[in-house]
Amino acid sequence: MKRRDFLAGTVCALAFTAVPAFAEDKLINDPSSGWQVYGQQTNKRIKDAAVQGGYAIEVKIPAKGANPWDSAAQTDITGDIKKGDKILAAVWLKAKTEDGSPAHLNIRVQINSAPYTSLVESTQSVGPEWKLYAVETTATQDYNKKTVVLAVHLAGAKQTVYLGPAFVLIPAQ
């Protein structure tokens, strides 16, 4: 699939969800760049026709971590963010837990250096079907490109989490 087709599909998918999207939105990440995954886990890229783009990362967490961020995935935000910009981050997720209950995953837009200050975060209950999860905020200061990331904390339980494409937008004003 060509990147242009992938991005066009993204805009269409976002338009048919509860997440507002407009043609003039500015995409400030590369949804095709994938995820960097770290911590106590194993991961692999899988084909899954049910998720936008047809691929996902399957991450198996062998045990609950001491902290939810002990295992996590992140993707770079490659565009500049200016004070006052509205930021909308959305990611396709699904998860399986041992007891069949939803996984509780923390989604954050954060600085990518200590102390990893959050611009916005929200804990989401993620079930076994693909769904688009989103967080949004307004920037309180300027951030240079590649200093901010979208992160998902994965170590809240022994579980398998599937990460589809992520989109970080500055919606048109």
Query: Which pTM value belongs to this model?
Result: 0.85
Task: Check whether 6 has a pLDDT greater than 50.
Answer: no
Q: What's the chain's average pLDDT?
A: 89
| Domains detected in the chain | 3-170 (2.60.120.260)
What per-residue confidence (pLDDT) applies to 16? 43
Section 127-155 average pLDDT: 96
Section 118-122 average pLDDT: 96
What per-residue confidence (pLDDT) applies to 168? 96
Section 135-143 average pLDDT: 96
d(C-alpha 29, C-alpha 77), whole Å: 5
What per-residue confidence (pLDDT) applies to 23? 59
What per-residue confidence (pLDDT) applies to 3? 43
d(C-alpha 10, C-alpha 118), whole Å: 25
User: Per-residue pLDDT tens for 45-70?
Assistant: 999 999 999 999 999 999 999 999 99
pLDDT exceeding 70 applies to what percent of the chain?
Answer: 87
Going by C-alpha positions, the residue among 14, 5, 16 that lies closest to residue 91 is 14
What per-residue confidence (pLDDT) applies to 12? 46
d(C-alpha 28, C-alpha 1), whole Å: 20
Task: Check whether 9 has a pLDDT greater than 90.
Answer: no
Q: Which amino acid is at 126?
A: V
